Structure 1
Amino acid sequence: MPTYLIEIPHSEKVSDCMHVINVFLTSGSHIISQAHWGCKDGVHKMWFIYDFDSKEQVLQSIPPLMRPQAQIVELNKFRIEDVSQYTTE
């Protein structure tokens, strides 16, 4: 099952920030409630990493109002053997 990094930016306005956090925390999703937030450090984004079957499944886990801003990245790991196959001669 692929692992995805999801990043969702939001407004710096305190009222908007609190609203977005509340939307996620009350969404009922245990995935979203485990999100990491950068707001206290002035980076108004939330992130979470989770395994999903597809990007479509990721989108369904995000509240509809936040979907257009979401950046979804499938993550992978490389081994030395993987890197060597990409070396050019």
Structure 2
Amino acid sequence: MATYLIEIPHSENTFECKQVIKLFVESGSHLLANAHWGCKAGVHKSWFINDFNSKEEALQIVPPFLRHSASVIELTTFTKNDIQQFAEANSH
């Protein structure tokens, strides 16, 4: 299983922002109800990280009308050796 970051932007309009948050909470999904929100900082996006079998599976937990604007990003952890090899390969 891979780890994915799901980012969902939404309107900064106060009413619409509250409606999106309410939708997430009422969806019953543990992931959506526990998303991280940037609204108080003026960044109208939600994020959550979890393991999924595929990008498509990760996207399925996003409410249907928000899927078109969602970004699903597979996350990778690099070791120090991985980073050194990458740096050496790109130094030529």
5 Å matches for 1:1-89? 1-86=1-86, 87-88=88-89, 89=92
Name the CA distance, whole Å, in 1 between partners of 2:50 and 2:75. Answer: 10
Amino acid at match of 2:25: L
Moved segments of 4+, more than 4 Å: none
> How far is the alpha carbon of 1:8 from its aligned partner?
0.5
The TM-score, its normalising length taken from structure 2, stands at 0.91
Structure 2 unmatched ranges of 5 or more: none
Name the CA distance, whole Å, in 2 between partners of 1:25 and 1:74. Answer: 24
> How far is the alpha carbon of 1:59 from its aligned partner?
1.1
Name the CA distance, whole Å, in 2 between partners of 1:26 and 1:78. Answer: 36
Name the CA distance, whole Å, in 1 between partners of 2:75 and 2:60. Answer: 18
| SS of 2:66 mapped into structure 1 | helix
> How far is the alpha carbon of 1:67 from its aligned partner?
0.2
Structure with the bigger percentage of helix? 2
Structure 1 unmatched ranges of 5 or more: none
Name the CA distance, whole Å, in 1 between partners of 2:15 and 2:80. Answer: 47
Q: How many residues align?
A: 89
Instruction: Show CA shifts across 1:10-60 (max 9, x none).
Output: 001110000100111111111111100011111100000111111111111
